[in-house]
Structure 1
Amino acid sequence: MTTTYVFPGQGSHRVGMGEAAFGRYPHLVRQADSVLGYSVADLCLSGPAERLGDTRYTQPALYVAGSLAYLERVRETGIVPSLLAGHSLGEYVALFAAGAFDFLTGLELVAERARLMAEAGDGGMCAVIGLDAGRVTELLADVAPEGVTVANLNAPRQVVLSGPRGLHDTLRGPLVDGGARSVVSLPVSGAFHSPHMRPAAERFGAFLRSYRFNDLKIPVLSNVTARPHEDASLGELLTRQLVEPVRWTECVGYALDQPGGDVVEVGPGRVLTGLLRQLRESRAEAAA
């Protein structure tokens, strides 16, 4: 049986996350504080929400909370997964779990990634619920302003778009008229996973080249390829992840196709569990 642990990304953060794990790993929390220059436990547990929602703080906080949740999960269950995946920022938690880098190195990478993405300039993202990627792309050809691209392929009928600030207001009407159940603005400050991030990706790629990664002890699915990472191309794909869509539906599909196909979300929230349920339902409908 293949057990896959999946880790959430930005959007799953909330004040209070990580409460059960922070007290069990005080040495790692102290080390994280020394890297970040502030108390990550205080931020996660007490907020304020506005600061926790700032990309510069959200991503390191999620990395710490997700990594500690993974350690706690293994400690409690004794189960070491046979496959790992993470949604956007969650991919760094998966790579920590797989041994690509130690806890502090991963935090350094995430903190720099967050800084560069936050500095990339204004932009926005919105989730289109109820339409598949083909239909969304078809509608965008007629109504989208310049610079709008598909950023996340989250579920068979959930697609996230990136583009200029205000794209939700511009696109909501035409997409709903075209069959979308809803169009939801996401609480982010940039057009992530799109060409808008190219300057940040170039700088991040140069930053990654100063690190040497360990060989993976557990396979990790790449957001970019939806297939297991190869050790030699890890840095390249993490750089491309900033400018290319997160192919989450394919990642989860790959995990479900493994013998046994057990997929478990680890970390704050249950966003990925909901997406997994949608994919299972879509597969059941297709097989009926």
Structure 2
Amino acid sequence: MKHAYVFPGQGSQFPGMGKHLYDTNETAKALFEKANEILGFRISDIMFNGTEEDLKQTKVTQPAVFLHSVIAYLALPNAKPDMVAGHSLGEFSALVANKTLQFEDALKLVAIRANAMQKACEQNPSTMAAILGLADEKVEEICAGITGEIVVAANYNCPGQLVISGSNAGIDIACEQMKAAGAKRALKLPVGGAFHSPLMEPAKAELQAAIESTTFSTPICPVYQNVVAKAVTEPTEIRANLIAQLTGAVRWTQSVQAMVADGATHFTEVGPGKVLQGLVNKIEKTAVTDGFSGTETLA
């Protein structure tokens, strides 16, 4: 009977996110103000009063989702995780929850990551697509068979839902082939670039330098990292996996399966939205799931 805490990634943002926490919790308010100072702009104003469009820019989205998740987690009384995981960007939130990273350090890394990814997207016009209703192996096989273009499996979200990432032309070809192979849907996503693919390589050097000069402490519980989908507690390994994640796949299905195999029965999603609760329920029917975004009344 173990309790896992999981943290969402980009795509969970919404206008007004985190405002209730700011208005009702003094610690939360202080952390938002500290974040505004660190980032050099009032991200809290964009989160609380901005439009969906304002929140869509990668350099805003990533710190916004991170802040909402981490500040909500710190507002939770008696949070005692046996294990943590985060989806893509959410891995940084998870590493604050298990005390591998300090709040300020993690926020700086997230800002560097977001800006580096934004630049990589501008350098290589590229995109992602969600493939529904095909076996993972079939999706991988089709991606591998496309020559002259980059197309890879990027997010293993749950059985029958895989996101692919690559060049614009490569994704178009792949979507056609996926449909021909029997996919229920092959849907291009409204994203700025090919995240979790080799096309993010230009962002790697900058993020790697920042991660390598940041202190990583021994965590209080294991993190199930996206690229390896197993429990990790060694700071050097955590650091290497975090760097690899930028161009590597998010193995969410496999991470949740590993957590369940290691005794997780209860998953709490902390931060904006309910995406991960839905994915966990599809991966493991018996798991108990709930969420905390900072607006719920705590029992």
Structure-1-length-normalised TM-score: 0.91
1:221: how far off? 1.0
CA contact (8 A) 1:5 1:84 kept: yes
For residues 1-288 of structure 1, the aligned pairs below 5 Å read 1-23=1-23, 24=25, 25-72=28-75, 74-75=76-77, 78-120=78-120, 121=123, 122-142=125-145, 146-165=149-168, 168-229=171-232, 230-259=234-263, 261-281=265-285
What root-mean-square deviation, in Å, do the aligned CA atoms of Structure 1 and Structure 2 show?
1.9
Give the match's secondary structure for 2:223: coil
Q: Distance in 2 between matches of 1:220 and 1:167?
A: 33
Change (3 A) 1:272 1:166: farther
Q: Distance in 1 between matches of 2:87 and 2:10?
A: 8
- If each structure's strand is expressed as a fraction of its own residues, which one has the higher value? 2
1:158: how far off? 0.9
List per-residue Cα deviations over 1:72-109 (Å, max 9, x = no partner): 2x22xx23111100000000000001111221111001
Q: Distance in 1 between matches of 2:146 and 2:247?
A: 22
CA contact (8 A) 2:131 2:164 kept: yes
Q: Distance in 1 between matches of 2:182 and 2:169?
A: 21
List per-residue Cα deviations over 1:132-160 (Å, max 9, x = no partner): 21011223345576101111111111111
Counterpart in the other structure of 1:286: none
List per-residue Cα deviations over 1:202-261 (Å, max 9, x = no partner): 221122111121111121111111112221222211110001101111111111223352
1:42: how far off? 1.6
What is the identity, as a one-letter code, of the residue corresponding to 2:51?
P
Q: Distance in 1 between matches of 2:153 and 2:266?
A: 28
Change (3 A) 1:260 1:89: closer
Q: Distance in 1 between matches of 2:146 and 2:100?
A: 43
1:262: how far off? 1.4
Q: Distance in 1 between matches of 2:197 and 2:36?
A: 31
Change (3 A) 1:110 1:281: same
CA contact (8 A) 1:221 1:251 kept: yes
Q: Distance in 2 between matches of 1:100 and 1:199?
A: 26
Change (3 A) 1:261 1:37: same
Change (3 A) 1:11 1:211: same
What is the identity, as a one-letter code, of the residue corresponding to 2:47?
C
Q: Distance in 2 between matches of 1:39 and 1:181?
A: 42
Change (3 A) 1:166 1:198: same
1:170: how far off? 3.8
Structure-2-length-normalised TM-score: 0.88
CA contact (8 A) 1:126 1:167 kept: no
List per-residue Cα deviations over 1:172-204 (Å, max 9, x = no partner): 333122111112222221111111111211221
Q: Which moved more, 1:9-18 or 1:61-70?
A: 9-18
Q: Distance in 2 between matches of 1:11 and 1:166?
A: 23
What is the identity, as a one-letter code, of the residue corresponding to 2:97?
A
Q: Distance in 2 between matches of 1:205 and 1:94?
A: 19
Q: Distance in 1 between matches of 2:155 and 2:105?
A: 26
Aligned residue pairs, count: 280
Structure 2 alignment gaps of length 5 or more: 288-299
Q: Distance in 1 between matches of 2:280 and 2:50?
A: 29
Give the match's secondary structure for 1:261: strand
Structure 1 alignment gaps of length 5 or more: 284-288
